Structures are given as C-alpha cells and as structure tokens.
Amino acid sequence: MALEAEAKRMVAQFEYSAEEVNKGVREFVREMEEGLAKQGTSISQIPTYVTSVPNGTEKGVYLAVDLGGTNFRVCSVTLHGNQSFSLQQSKVPVPRALMEAKTSHELFSFLAKQIEAFLKTHHLDHFEKHKAQPGEVDYFDLGFTFSFPVNQVGINKGKLMRWTKGFNIDEALGQDVCELLQKEIDSLGLPVRVAALVNDTVGTLMARSYTSPGKTSTLIGAIFGTGTNGAYVEKLDRVKKMKEIDDATGGAANYDATTGLMVINTEWGSFDNPLKVLPNTQYDIDLDKESVNPGIQMFEKRVSGMFLGEILRRALLSLYQHPDAGVALFKDESSHTNDIRSTTTVADDSPLFKQWGIDTSFLSIVEEDQSDHLRITKQVLEKELKVEAASTEDCVAVKMLVHAIGKRAARLAAVALGGVVLSTNKLQEDETVDIGVDGSLVEYYPGFEEYIREAFREIEGIGEEEKRIRIGLAKDGSGLGAALIALVAHNAE
C-alpha cells in the first residue's frame, strides 16, 4: 500500500487541471497572434504559400516525392474526385555516400533517376510519348516533401538552412532545393514539374481535407508522432507580418492572394519558450537539462512520442531509487508468479537505467492492459525493461504513472488544437470544425482522442460545442497530401 500511496503522490504532479488547460489555451492564442504579427516569435507561424484546401472533388494524376531521412519515396496519386484516390509508390534507401556527397548534383541526380525509374514502371506510356514528342503530353505536377529546415519563400521555392539526420552536403546550403531537383529532372528530360515544396503537417491537413466526409473543409492538420506540429487555415488579412515577408521575398506575386486564405505552419513544438504556463515536474526539468537542445521545444518535450517514454523512465527510476525500501518500486521479496514466490529483480543492464531506454509504445501497451493482475504489464516489464517477477502492486504503480503521463500529453494536445479552434473563430463560422491528425501516438495510444475531447469540454469558449469538433485520422500526408499541394499550386497559377 505504501508504494501505491507514493505512486499517487507522483501522479498528482502530472495532473493538469481544467484551470491550467484554460491558462494554456489563453497563452497559446496570444502566441499564435503574436506569431502572425511578427517574425522570430515563440510559435513561428510560417506562411506556407498554400492558399486553398481541397474539398474531395479534385481529379487528376499527381506525383509526390519524400526525402525524409533514410528513404526516398516516389509515388503517384490518382484522385477520383469523390473523396477517394489510388496510390502507387516505390521506396529506396538513400545510399550513405550520397548523404555526405561533395556536390548536391550527386544526391539530386540520384533522386531524379528514381523518379525516372518510377515513371518507366508506372507511367510508361506517358513517359514514352513525351520522349518521342516533347510537349505532346502534359507535365506531371510534383509535390516535394523535404523534411529538413528550409526557408520557404514561395510555394515551390525554399532555401536549405541546414542539414540534419546525418546528411551533410555543404555545397547545397543556401540553395533552392526545388530548383536543384528540377534541374536534374530536366537534364533527364522527364515530363515533371516541381510544383510545391511540402511540409508534412500541411500534407496531413490537405490529405484530411480531401478525404473528410461531407463538404466541410479541414481546419487543422496535426501530427503527434516522434514530434508534434500543426498547420491550419488562416485568413490572409490576419497574417499581419505578410507585408514584411512580401517585401523581402518578391511580394504577393509568389502566391494566389485572391482566396483570402493562407495555410500557416505553426511550429507549435516550441510553444511557451521560455516556459511560463506549461506544467513542469522534476522529470520534465531533468529530461530537458540532459537533452541535446535544453530550453527548446518545451511543448514537444511534454507531448510527443520521442519524449513520453523518457518522462516515464525518469519517474519509474525515481520510484525505484526511493530511499524508503518499503515504498520503492521493484523491491518485492516475495512476489507471486504462477504461485511460486520469487524476488523481483532488475537487471544491471535494464533500459530503466539508460537515457531514452523506454519507447513510447511501452506506454500504449500498459495503458491498454486490462488483464488479471496486470499480467501483460508484468510480461512487458520483463521483456522490455528486464524486470523479473514484478509484483502486481508494482504493475499498478507503473500503470498509474503511464496513465498520468499519457493523459497529460493528450490534454496538452488539446491546448494547441483548442487554441487554434478559438483563435480562428471557426466554431462561430461553421457547423462542423474538422481536424486531421496523424502519428503513432494519436493513432495507437488508447484513449488519446477521448482525453483530448474531455479537455475540450473544459475549455472556455468550447465546452458543449466540443460535439461539433470532428477529429479524424489523416494518413499519407507525404503521398496524398503532397500530391494535393502540387494540385493547388498548379491551379493557383
């Protein structure tokens, strides 16, 4: 019982009250508005130059490519115009040597060759007609998902700021990545035009908007995976900093201003930096201190898949190392396993002792566990954490902490989503407000959406209207979503 009482005390530290949620939302709305007014703010609010979203009636064949980290994906998407689509794709690993090539030509010509091979496999007729008589067939518009930091200055213009994820080609820095790809496509003589540079959250927004039921277009695309971020549809005249950006980048000629809309990439992972309103336990503080970027991405560090396992690990470790042995975790000397009395042991090389030792999928398994005496939790503790013969009391304590950390993450997710819903005034304007989400956390963590909804009901300005907010999974942001961005880019010309 002593262990349970101590676990309860720790759980209380992760509680994120309705009052705090509301305080978070007010600050989120304030930072969103500040981000629309000027550059260099906590929430960046980056204009994406996407000025409309699809409604499911769009038709045609579009290409999409995705250079994320290890793989390069090429796909073609056929939009049937009735919210359905078909998709063909290929995936190749990017050779290590090309990630650190001397020239950008080496990498981008490799990418163009993959596009050529894809066209020969899936669109041979189109490819050959173009070869025989250039100009005979239409060009494919292509959406380019490029998951590295770029300074985007137009729908298909963005300069590489820095490489991440093991890539390092100095010569490409400061260059327009769409132009680099287009040059190599042209030198192979392919009927392909790089129409849009795509951010994955915008892809999620577009994919959901095309497939969402009814005529409602989607307001937000949000990712809760390794990281967290969101993009949403803003009224162009609310983007006060647009003029300043236009002056620096060649003006409204860069995009179609007639829709009066602009999709904004919030980069909300950095909400509340420096910290004012976010909950902050000792475990959050230590995680941040020992991370590669202390003080940065403080919202993301409490919400996304990359960090929840590590928060849990720190909480469990502190309970394991509790000075009072009678209270500590995994210290049972007579736990029952199949009616055999045994002593709980934690292996010296248990991931419990290693930074990043617990994956967030562990939390999903424990949260889901409804078995007798938490048998499944016991098994996963043994398999993943090398804890043998954990007692039921241990498992109860682990489950309580898992639940507290997962639920806090979902309630924080509600702060961001609710903040966008309120700031855009969408509940007043539309009957239904649609949100598309993607990422393993929101897809697999049991109850994640319900905890978001529970928090929505506690938010002043949403309350009972939570019923009019629809949340749907939007998969394939870098395939379908990127193809749709290529389409709207084409139509905007």
CB of 68 to ligand ADP, least distance (A): 8
Told to judge if 162 belongs to the known catalytic residues of this protein, a careful annotator would answer yes
Write down the catalytic residue from 44, 90, 147, 318.
147
For ligand ADP, the closer of residues 308 and 395 by Cβ is: 308
For ligand ADP, the closer of residues 192 and 306 by Cβ is: 306
Piece in contact with ligand ADP (CB under 6 A), picked from 345-353, 355-363, 388-396, 413-421: 355-363
198 binds ligand ADP, rule: CB under 6 A: no
Q: Which of residues 267-326 bind ligand ADP (CB under 6 A)?
A: 305-306
Write down the catalytic residue from 66, 141, 176, 200.
200
For ligand ADP, the closer of residues 230 and 305 by Cβ is: 305
Residues in contact with ligand ADP, shown as a per-residue x/- string from 410 to 439 under the rule CB under 6 A: -----------------------------x
For ligand ADP, the closer of residues 9 and 165 by Cβ is: 165
Instruction: Name the residue type at position 154.
Output: G
Residue among 78, 432, 440, 491 that touches ligand ADP (CB under 6 A):
440
Query: Burial code of 272-310, b = ≥16 C-beta within 10 A, e = fewer?
Result: bbeeebbbebebbeebbeebeeeeebbbbbbbbbbbbbb
Told to judge if 369 belongs to the known catalytic residues of this protein, a careful annotator would answer no
Q: Indicate the pairing of strand 433-438 with strand 469-473.
A: parallel
Q: Which of residues 211-240 bind ligand ADP (CB under 6 A)?
A: 225-226
Told to judge if 200 belongs to the known catalytic residues of this protein, a careful annotator would answer yes
**Counting every residue, how long is the chain?**
493
For ligand ADP, the closer of residues 6 and 200 by Cβ is: 200
CA distance 352 to 313: 6
Residues in contact with ligand ADP, shown as a per-residue x/- string from 445 to 484 under the rule CB under 6 A: x---------------------------------------
Residue among 259, 361, 432, 491 that touches ligand ADP (CB under 6 A):
361
CA distance 394 to 2: 11
For ligand ADP, the closer of residues 263 and 306 by Cβ is: 306
Q: Which residue is nearest to ligand ADP (CB)?
A: 225
Residue among 257, 444, 461, 490 that touches ligand ADP (CB under 6 A):
444
Residue among 360, 391, 423, 424 that touches ligand ADP (CB under 6 A):
360
CB of 384 to ligand ADP, least distance (A): 12
Residue among 284, 300, 332, 359 that touches ligand ADP (CB under 6 A):
359
The residue count for binding ligand ADP (CB under 6 A) is: 13
Write down the catalytic residue from 96, 162, 341, 375.
162
For ligand ADP, the closer of residues 174 and 356 by Cβ is: 356
For ligand ADP, the closer of residues 204 and 424 by Cβ is: 204
In the complex, the residues that contact ligand ADP under the rule CB under 6 A are: 225-226, 305-306, 359-361, 364, 439-441, 444-445
By annotation, the residues acting in catalysis are 147, 162, 200
